[in-house]
Amino acid sequence: MTYIAKPRLHHPKLPANDLGFNRRDYEGSVSTLCAGCGHDSISAAIIQACYELALPPHRIAKLSGIGCSSKTPDYMLSASHGFNTVHGRMPSVLTGANLANRDLIYLGGSGDGDSASIGFGQFAHSIRRGVNMTYIVENNGVYGLTKGQFSATSDRGSKSKKGVVNTDAGIDLVAMALQLGATFVGRSFSGDKAQLVPLIKAAISHKGAAFIDCVSPCVQFNNHLGSTKSYDYVREHNEAVNRMDVIAPRAPITADYEPGVTLAVTQHDGSVLQLHKLHGAYDPSDRGAALSFLNERSAKGEIVTGLLYVDPEADDLHDALGTVDKPLNSLTDAELVPGPGVLEKLNASLR
Ligand SMILES: Cc1ncc(C[n+]2csc(CCOP(=O)(O)OP(=O)(O)O)c2C)c(N)n1
Ligand code: SF4
Ligand SMILES: [Mg+2]
């Protein structure tokens, strides 16, 4: 892979967050993706979200599979932990890392090919287990890296660059995530930073499996007439159900609160999601209704975006397994080998 380091020089008066880091401290190396690729905008949104949340870079672990989308962790968060797995295998490697060290903040980056084809099972099981992570699919409807074949998220009836019609039904990963029990589900568009950045911040603050499907046009192979993942198509068919402000734990709530128009959702960590309703009847706490709304709108060719579902009281995989509070590598010998008394008690409890 081409590697171009970014110059470290920046304006001395660049604003800093609560940790004293500026936005550039969250960047990575220079992107080698095509100019105009939606994936680069998603990287910029992740960088912005981590900067605004003032996350310590060394506490973030970014993992991905294979594809243009899976190359993006290299273009952000250079001071964070990174693991580029085999194609479609990010979710299981992330699950293992998370079980071994629950103190890190896990970001899973993937593509529609990586998650809806070869990694479909991996995607499903990481979501249904409630792994505490932010899982983002950069969805362009094609295998960009291998030159533009239809992916499993391509809509039936959409056309390739050469005019071939896709006859297979498309998989909607948002509908799948809802069905699989994800406790935070959102969809956005790489061209809508105002919607995407707060959605990523909210997903990172969420405890449990947070999934974001981000439509991300491939300018090289899927940005033409007949595609349902092009910039023009998404702009024309984007139906946002809400907009959001994320207020950090313990920060004073200064924004106006209009009951009926704004809904405040307090998450586990104390962060407050202020949801400004754009679609009156939409209720992001009703999983079944979210699925019905999604199906009804997608039948009309609309792309529903925003925070689609959230359970702010969700448990995660560690709660389900009753694991220790500390990362495994910090356990002492005494904790790992507690002695014959504890063993005797355990054996007695099993008799
Ligand atoms: C085991 C394996 N099978 C197939 C490939 C070839 N391959 C590389 S990337 C890719 C698809 C990538 O598509 P997607 O995840 O949508 O990413 P994009 O490039 O569109 O961002 C495929 C099939 C591979 N690298 N490894
Ligand atoms: S081929 Fe498509 S997905 Fe890959 S970098 Fe180029 S525009 Fe992006
Ligand atoms: Mg793709």
Tell me: pLDDT of 261 over 80. Answer: no
Closest CA to ligand 2's atom 8: 37
Q: Which two tokens stand for residue 41?
A: 């905008």
* Distance from C-alpha of 206 to C-alpha of 212, rounded to nearest angstrom: 12
CB 228 within 8 A of CB 185: no
Other C-beta atoms closer than 10 Å to the C-beta of 57 total: 18
Ramachandran area for residue 177 (φ above 0: left; ψ -120 to 50: alpha; else beta): alpha
Q: Which residues have a beta carbon within 5 Å of ligand 3, which is an ion? A: 111-113, 140
Q: Between these two residues, 323 and 268, which has the higher pLDDT value?
A: 323
Tell me: pLDDT of 238 over 60. Answer: yes
Per the document, the length of the chain is 351
List, chain by chain if needed, residues with CB within 6 Å of any ligand 2 atom.
33-34, 37, 39, 68, 140, 144-145, 218-221
Q: Which atom of ligand 2 is nearest to the CA of 221?
A: 2
CB 27 within 8 A of CB 5: no
pLDDT of res. 248: 87
Residue 218 CA, ligand 1 centroid: distance in Å: 14
Buried b (16+ CB within 10 A) or exposed e, 144-167: bbeebebbbbbbeebbbbeeeebe
List, chain by chain if needed, residues with CB within 6 Å of any ligand 1 atom.
66-69, 87, 111-114, 118, 138, 140, 142-146, 151
Residue 1 — very low, low, confident or very high, per pLDDT cuts 50/70/90?
very low
Q: Average the pLDDT over each of 117-121, 154-158, 279-283, 323-327 and give the range with the smallest value.
A: 279-283
Residue 255 — very low, low, confident or very high, per pLDDT cuts 50/70/90?
low
- Nearest-Å Rg of the Cα atoms of the chain is 21
* Distance from C-alpha of 257 to C-alpha of 157, rounded to nearest angstrom: 43
- Entry pTM: 0.95
Other C-beta atoms closer than 10 Å to the C-beta of 341 total: 8
* Distance from C-alpha of 51 to C-alpha of 22, rounded to nearest angstrom: 7
Kindly state the percentage of the chain with pLDDT values over 70. 97
